[in-house]
Amino acid sequence: MGEKITHEQIYDRLLDVTEEFAENGASTFDVANVMSQFVTKMAFDCAPCSQQATHLLLNAITTRIEHNHEEQENVN
């Protein structure tokens, strides 16, 4: 068996796919909308329980909010 794919490799490959969608005329909003629905469905389908799926999704949202807040503090 080969090496396990890393978090960064998965992320990079997803970026490649979203770029392909854009090249084929999809708007970034449409891609984000479909991907958010896909990720939500995947989280609830793959997590052992709804509570863990919710935690996973809320953790991702919280991380992004904290990142935005840090960027804003660096600007000010």
Q: Give me the pLDDT at residue 75, please.
A: 87
- The three state secondary structure string of 52-71 is HHHHHHHHHHHHHHHHHHHH
- Domains: count for the chain: 1
In this prediction, residue 48 carries a pLDDT of: 97
| Domain span including residue 69 | 7-75
Each of the 76 residues of the chain gets a pLDDT tens digit; together they read: 679 999 999 999 999 999 999 999 999 999 999 999 999 999 999 999 999 999 999 999 999 999 999 998 888 7
Per the listing, tokens 């389908």 go with 45
pLDDT of residue 8: 96
Residue 1 lies in a domain: no
Predicted confidence at residue 52, as pLDDT, reads: 98
Helix axes 28-46, 7-23, angle to 10 degrees: 140
List the structure tokens of 58. 């809320």
57 with 43: CB under 8 angstroms? yes
Let me know if residue 64 belongs to a domain.
Answer: yes
In a domain, 2, yes or no: no
